[in-house]
Amino acid sequence: MSTEGLIGIIYSRLNMKNKPKTLENFIGTYVSSLAFTSSLGHEVVNFIRKVNEDKQWDLFKYRIKRITPVKATEEAGLEEIIKYRHYADPSWGGKLFHWYVLLGKLHGIQHYVEILKGNLYHLIDSSIFIFDKNCSYTYVLNLDNLTLEIYVRRFGTSYGCDNRFAKEVGAIKGVFPFEKISPNIFPKSII
């Protein structure tokens, strides 16, 4: 069974133009399957714990604010094709110059790992997917207040709380400070 989701970043220093107010300073990357807390959720938690351990949040923020958002079917330039060709996955069925093919081998948290390493300066912005009824799990790294926000929507039902996405998504399940993230963060109620 495929469970779609989103990994996103909220950061006031992101240069995100021409977006609805709810999505200002937010960039999200679509995850086509395995977005459950038991898989993608643990990848996100492990990433946060590693960045905490290595004290690299300032470096990550610096690199994130330099990201250029792109659309999945937008065409990459020759320079980007050469730079990112090792991430390409032709099995996606598109042309190599489409961003979703060019970055096709990057799944889940791998985009953010590569950004932190300084290897990736473009990110497919699928943030609008947070409003899609098929977006079951969303993990948002809020770099302004260093928290992880987790949203869960199952079978068309949302779980509500007051938050920037609550009116449209209504699905927040928790806000966790990065410094307190542990491997057993996910209560059984959201797994």
Q: What is the pLDDT of residues 77-116, one digit of tens each?
A: 999 999 999 999 988 887 888 999 999 999 889 999 999 9
Tell whether the model's pLDDT for residue 14 goes beyond 70: yes
Q: What pLDDT does residue 35 have?
A: 79
pTM of the model: 0.86
- Confidence category of residue 191, pLDDT binned at 50, 70, 90: very low
Q: What pLDDT does residue 77 have?
A: 95
* 45 phi, psi to nearest 5 deg: -60, -45
Comparing 16 with 24, the larger pLDDT belongs to 24
Q: What pLDDT does residue 161 have?
A: 39
Q: What pLDDT does residue 135 have?
A: 84
| Percent of all residues in the chain with a pLDDT value above 90, rounded to a whole number | 49
Tell me the C-alpha to C-alpha distance, in Å, between residue 55 and each of 48, 49, 51, 80.
Answer: 10, 10, 6, 30
Tell me the C-alpha to C-alpha distance, in Å, between residue 95 and each of 29, 43, 70, 78, 160.
Answer: 20, 29, 16, 13, 40
Give Cα 175 to chain centroid, integer Å: 16
Tell whether the model's pLDDT for residue 16 goes beyond 90: no
Maximum average pLDDT range among 25-39, 42-56, 151-165? 42-56
Q: What pLDDT does residue 138 have?
A: 87
Comparing 76 with 171, the larger pLDDT belongs to 76
Taking all residues of the chain, what is their mean pLDDT, rounded to a whole number? 84
Tell whether the model's pLDDT for residue 163 goes beyond 70: no
Q: Which of 8, 14, 32 is nearest to 163 (CA)?
A: 8
- Confidence category of residue 128, pLDDT binned at 50, 70, 90: confident
